[in-house]
């Protein structure tokens, strides 16, 4: 901006001389060449207002006997910051005896600590904040890690910092309210005012939030996290998560997701889509985690998969440690379909380096009734209602009662959906009459959770539902095509279905790459 | 009175009676058991079920659901049935009781 700011006077001027007349450059923009505004001048004042600034830097050089002058400034006040700093620097070069004297007048803007025009103080403030951050990072573990996290988030939003580092501060939980300010984040246009804006700074102001939550003690994630669609990097490494919400795929700008070092023993079905469709776009780190692995061995006579007894160690069954032949066969078949045709025609290196997903086997399907209690396997056989997730099942599985295997949702489900729309379910359980069956209150809690995180989707028909009617694990091979089928290369995905008719296992031989 | 008929009568606590198809009503596990002749409940003889804890408004909605379910048994894209908000809790209790 070529502003005709008057340069500081040459110091050889006689001290007693009266203030100089405006220079030519001054005249060029003030048509009337006078300090006073004439009435006729008001008509042309539509754009840049004129105001004067007390050049306090110069006013303090009493020893110079400088005549106190006012500078003419044109343009909005925020341009002052840049110019006054230049002037400051210039005068500092000229004089060693620069004194930083507080004028005693502090003009704070309405929410920040920055007084306008003092770029220096802003930097000082930032530096101080850094120190505070470092110091409180140490204290945070003792007093209030969550409050600290909220302050860090707020600070990042205030400064337009897209990288939010909440790592290693001992968070055990983080509330939705703490992450709420991130919705208001906008990218900083020019984080440094010393240079003219480069071309890439003219991109849109939508931030690419990088949220680092690694090294905490989080066991659950707030619902608000999945509403922050601008998150591009999410690191949840080394936490205590036991389940990854399926809502993770709502973050459709993710380029990096790290959930390694948690307590996950299965992944939501939607992560398969993440691995599959955006494999090139999104980098997903899943291991190490205590994932379930199919526990199988080969029965030598029938070569059928058998469940490995708990008591039998690997020593008695040498084949136990090896993955069963049947899985191997399915794996090879899947790999063939992936490479088929392609291999003889154009064996591209690029294609080979892609990661493959090959369906291996499901676990037993757990069928639930409309209120969410287990129908099969029957409670008498498994009193806890838990089934052995690690035993792969090769034969097809059908629902327990054919009569109930309709695609229509149950009345219970319909009412829950209607309640989600019409009521605030967050604390409805406290208002229920005392004789309410526990199944009803549990279902309402589930519905409230569904409102917060978004309802689960049926993994077969993709319709949202409140109460799952069937759930099972599916084991998939995941790895590059030069990998062999080992326990480490198998990922368990949890599938849920909205009706018994939807409880259909992926067909054998399904593979993606 | 015949042991098996095509229609059964459901009577609400405030005295409204609804005559519905037996096959539709039997998607409710509770009603199915009530009407099972082999179990010998009084309902199976009279083909009439009396619900002391379900009022007419709610029972009407339940009967509507029976036919909704019958209609959409095997269809692919099932539209949601309209459930009035003010009946939600009562219907939830009824659905829990009838196991539908």
Looking at this predicted complex, what is its ipTM? 0.92
Highest mean pLDDT among A30-34, A380-384, A400-404, B34-38: B34-38
In tens, the pLDDT along A443-468 reads 998 899 898 888 888 888 888 899 99
Split at pLDDT 50, 70, 90, the class of A428 is confident
The structure tokens 């009396």 sit at: B50
Q: B52 touching A, CB under 8 A? A: no
Closest residue on chain A to B92 (Cα)? A412
Contact flag A412-B69 (C-beta cutoff 8 Å): no
Q: B83 touching A, CB under 8 A? A: yes
Contact flag B75-A439 (C-beta cutoff 8 Å): no
Backbone angles phi, psi at A304, to 5 degrees: -100, 150
Contact flag B100-A404 (C-beta cutoff 8 Å): no
Report which of A117, A105, A34 is spatially closest to residue A76, judged by C-alpha positions: A117
Q: What pLDDT sits at residue A59? A: 44
The structure tokens 């990096």 sit at: A256
Closest residue on chain B to A429 (Cα)? B89
Judged by DSSP in three states, A86 sits in helix
Pairing, β B7-11 against β B17-21: antiparallel
Q: How far is A426 from chain B (nearest CA, A)?
A: 15
Tell me the residue range of the domain where B72 lies. Answer: 7-98
Q: A437 touching B, CB under 8 A? A: yes
By mean pLDDT, which of A41-50, A137-146, A188-197, A244-253 is the weakest? A41-50
Q: What pLDDT sits at residue A114? A: 44
Q: A464 touching B, CB under 8 A? A: no
Choice between A391 and A422, residue whose per-residue pLDDT is larger = A422
Query: How many domains, in total, are found in chain B?
Result: 1
Contact flag B85-A416 (C-beta cutoff 8 Å): no
Q: B36 touching A, CB under 8 A? A: no
Q: What pLDDT sits at residue B13? A: 93
List the single best residue of B88, B90, B94, B98 to mutate versus A (max A Cβ within 10 A): B88
Closest residue on chain A to B97 (Cα)? A437
Judged by DSSP in three states, A262 sits in coil
Q: Which residues on chain A are in Cβ contact (under 8 Å) with B74?
A: 406-407
Q: What pLDDT sits at residue A97? A: 47
In tens, the pLDDT along A24-65 reads 454 444 444 455 555 554 544 555 555 655 555 444 444 555
Q: What pLDDT sits at residue B16? A: 94
Backbone angles phi, psi at A179, to 5 degrees: -90, -10
Choose the closest CB to B78 out of A409, A421, A423.
A409
For the CA atoms of A107, A112, A113, A115, what is the dihedral angle to 10 degrees? Answer: -30
In a domain, B85, yes or no: yes
Q: How far is B9 from chain A (nearest CA, A)?
A: 20
In tens, the pLDDT along B24-61 reads 888 888 898 888 888 888 888 888 899 999 999 999 99
- Two tokens, residue A6: 């008057």
Distant-in-sequence, close-in-space partners of A105: CB < 8 Å, separation ≥ 6: none
pLDDT over 50 (residue B82): yes
Tell me the C-alpha distance between A461 and A503, whole Å: 10
Residue B16 in contact with residue B56, Cβ under 8 Å? yes
Tell me the C-alpha distance between A114 and A119, whole Å: 8
Tell me the C-alpha distance between A60 and A98, whole Å: 9
Tell me the C-alpha distance between A277 and A353, whole Å: 16
pLDDT over 80 (residue B71): yes
Choose the closest CB to B91 out of A403, A415, A423.
A415
CATH number, domain with residue B40: 3.30.710.10
pLDDT over 50 (residue B62): yes
Q: A409 touching B, CB under 8 A? A: yes
pLDDT over 90 (residue B11): yes
In a domain, B1, yes or no: no
In a domain, B57, yes or no: yes
Choose the closest CB to A412 out of B26, B78, B100.
B100
Q: What pLDDT sits at residue A49? A: 59
Q: How far is A126 from chain B (nearest CA, A)?
A: 53
Residue A369 in contact with residue A464, Cβ under 8 Å? no
Point out which residues pair with B17 in neighbouring strands.
B11
Choose the closest CB to A410 out of B74, B85, B100.
B100
Mean per-residue pLDDT for A264-278? 83
Sign of the alpha-carbon dihedral angle for A30, A32, A34, A38: negative
Choose the closest CB to B78 out of A407, A440, A443.
A407
Q: What pLDDT sits at residue A425? A: 85
Q: What b/e sequence results for B46-85 when a residue is b if at least 16 CB atoms lie within 10 Å of its CB, and e otherwise?
A: ebbbbbeebbbbbbbbbbbbbebbbebbeeeebeebebee
Q: B88 touching A, CB under 8 A? A: yes
Q: Which residues on chain B are in Cβ contact (under 8 Å) with A437?
A: 93, 96
Could you state, in order of their start, the residue ranges of all structural domains in chain A? 24-94, 119-191+203-285, 319-410+467-512
Q: What pLDDT sits at residue A361? A: 85
In a domain, B60, yes or no: yes
Q: How far is B53 from chain A (nearest CA, A)?
A: 12
Contact flag A408-B72 (C-beta cutoff 8 Å): yes
Mean per-residue pLDDT for A145-169? 88
Write out the CATH class of domain A119-191+203-285: alpha beta
Q: Which residues on chain B are in Cβ contact (under 8 Å) with A422?
A: 85, 88
Q: A400 touching B, CB under 8 A? A: no
Mean per-residue pLDDT for A290-311? 53
In a domain, B87, yes or no: yes
Our separate counts of H helices and E strands in chain B read 5, 3
pLDDT over 60 (residue A22): no
Residue B51 in contact with residue B14, Cβ under 8 Å? no
Q: Round to the nearest angstrom and report the end-to-end CA distance of chain A.
A: 54
- Two tokens, residue A118: 């003092």
Choose the closest CB to B69 out of A408, A440, A444.
A408
Residue A193 Cα distances to A20, A96, A246, A430, A435, angstroms: 31, 25, 43, 55, 67
Report which of A417, A80, A456, A481 is spatially closest to residue B92, judged by C-alpha positions: A417
Backbone angles phi, psi at B49, to 5 degrees: -115, 130
Q: Which residues on chain A are in Cβ contact (under 8 Å) with B92?
A: 412, 415-416, 419, 440, 443-444
The conformational region for residue A509 under phi > 0 = left, psi -120 to 50 = alpha, else beta, is: left
Q: What pLDDT sits at residue A429? A: 79
Per-position DSSP letters for A388-417, written without gaps between them: -TTS---S----S-GGG--SSPPHHHHHHH
Residue A486 in contact with residue A323, Cβ under 8 Å? yes
Contact flag B95-A421 (C-beta cutoff 8 Å): no
pLDDT over 90 (residue A207): no
Choice between A413 and A83, residue whose per-residue pLDDT is larger = A413
pLDDT over 70 (residue A503): yes
Choose the closest CB to B83 out of A369, A415, A439.
A415
Choose the closest CB to B99 out of A369, A440, A443.
A369
**Average confidence score pLDDT of chain A:** 72
Q: How far is CA A167 from the centre of its chain?
A: 13
Distant-in-sequence, close-in-space partners of A453: CB < 8 Å, separation ≥ 6: A223, A226, A245, A247
Mean per-residue pLDDT for A109-113? 51
In a domain, B61, yes or no: yes
């Amino acid at each position: 901006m070529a502003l005709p700011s008057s340069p500081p006077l040459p110091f050889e001027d006689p001290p007693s001389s009266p203030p100089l007349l405006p220079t030519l450059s001054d005249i060029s923009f003030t048509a009337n060449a006078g300090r006073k505004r004439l009435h006729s001048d008001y008509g042309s004042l539509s754009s840049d207002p004129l105001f004067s600034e007390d050049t306090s830097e110069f006013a303090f050089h009493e020893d110079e006997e400088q005549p106190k002058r006012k500078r003419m400034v044109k343009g909005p006040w925020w341009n002052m910051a840049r110019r006054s700093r230049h002037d400051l620097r210039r005068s500092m070069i000229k004089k060693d005896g620069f004194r930083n004297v507080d004028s005693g007048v502090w003009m704070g803007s309405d929410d920040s600590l920055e007084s306008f025009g003092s770029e220096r103080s802003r930097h000082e403030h930032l530096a101080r904040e850094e120190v505070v951050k470092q110091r409180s990072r140490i204290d945070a573990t003792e007093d209030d890690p969550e409050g600290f996290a909220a302050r860090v988030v707020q600070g990042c939003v205030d400064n337009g910092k897209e990288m939010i580092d909440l790592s290693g501060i001992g968070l055990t939980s983080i509330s939705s309210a703490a992450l709420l300010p991130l919705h208001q984040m906008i990218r900083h246009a020019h984080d440094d005012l010393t240079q003219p804006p480069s071309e890439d700074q003219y991109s849109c102001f939508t931030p690419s939030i990088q949220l680092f939550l690694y090294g905490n003690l989080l066991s659950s994630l707030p619902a608000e996290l999945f509403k922050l669609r601008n998150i591009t990097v999410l690191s949840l490494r080394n936490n205590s998560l036991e389940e990854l919400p399926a809502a993770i795929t709502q973050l459709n700008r993710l380029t990096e997701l790290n959930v390694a070092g948690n307590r996950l023993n299965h992944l939501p079905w939607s992560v398969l889509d993440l691995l599959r469709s955006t494999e090139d776009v999104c980098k997903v780190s899943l291991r190490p985690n205590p994932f379930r692995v199919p526990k199988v061995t080969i029965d030598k006579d029938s070569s059928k998969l058998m469940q490995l007894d708990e008591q039998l160690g690997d020593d008695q069954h040498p084949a136990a440690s090896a993955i069963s032949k049947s899985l191997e066969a399915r794996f090879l078949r899947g790999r063939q379909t992936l490479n088929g045709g392609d291999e003889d025609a154009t064996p591209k290196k690029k294609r080979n380096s892609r990661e493959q997903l090959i369906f291996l086997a499901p676990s037993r399907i757990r069928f639930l009734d409309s209120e969410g209690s287990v129908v099969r396997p029957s409670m008498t056989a498994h009193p806890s209602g838990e089934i052995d997730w690690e035993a792969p099942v090769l034969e097809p599985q059908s629902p327990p009662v054919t009569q109930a295997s309709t695609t229509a949702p149950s009345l219970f489900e319909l009412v829950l959906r209607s309640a989600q729309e019409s009521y605030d379910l967050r604390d409805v359980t406290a208002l229920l009459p005392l004789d309410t069956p526990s199944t009803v209150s549990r279902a309402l809690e589930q519905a409230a959770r569904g409102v917060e995180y978004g309802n689960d989707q049926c993994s077969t028909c993709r319709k949202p539902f409140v109460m799952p009617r069937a759930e099972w694990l599916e084991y998939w091979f995941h790895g590059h095509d030069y990998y062999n089928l080992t326990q480490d290369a198998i990922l368990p995905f949890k599938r849920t279905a909205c009706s018994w008719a939807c409880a259909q296992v992926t067909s054998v031989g399904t593979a993606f790459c | 009175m015949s042991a098996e008929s095509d229609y059964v009568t459901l009577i609400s606590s405030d005295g409204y009676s609804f005559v519905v198809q037996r096959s539709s009503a039997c998607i409710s596990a509770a009603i199915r058991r009530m009407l099972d002749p082999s179990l010998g409940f009084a309902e199976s003889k009279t083909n009439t079920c009396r619900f002391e804890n379900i009022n007419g408004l709610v029972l009407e909605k339940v009967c509507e659901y029976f036919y909704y379910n019958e209609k959409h048994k095997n269809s692919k894209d099932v539209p949601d049935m309209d459930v009035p908000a003010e009946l939600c809790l009562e219907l939830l209790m009824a659905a829990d009781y009838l196991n539908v």
